[in-house]
Amino acid sequence: MFAAPPKENGAGSDAYSITDVDALPVVTKQAPPVYPAELRKAHVLGEAKIQFVVDPSGDPTQLVCLSSTAPEFAESALLAVQQWRFHPAQKNGQPVACRMVVPIVFSLSH
């Protein structure tokens, strides 16, 4: 589910990549996204890729949508991921900030 985010040199560069930590962040609370009503009614499927940093407290920060099939999916995915909580990544036995990318898929399966 989690992908290694692209390398960056700007904001958030103090966070580790998931490939550079000893233990990955583990989701402890995962709020589902709200399917935008207009897109559900129109049977529109889609996805939003969200990049963020899990800070050493386990909170998602620095959220940004890297891509989305519709702006409404991006907004809903960002709102959902903001509510997630994690056991933070670890490096040398210490909690550390870690960059992540997750795809949020919107499908109509019941």
Mean pLDDT of each 10-residue bin along the chain, 110 residues long: 46 81 97 96 97 98 98 98 98 97 90
pLDDT at res. 11: 43
- pTM of the shown model: 0.85
Residues, the chain, total?
110
pLDDT at res. 109: 78
Q: Contact, 86 vs 28, CB < 8 A?
A: yes
Q: How far apart are CA 52 and CA 39, in angstroms?
A: 25
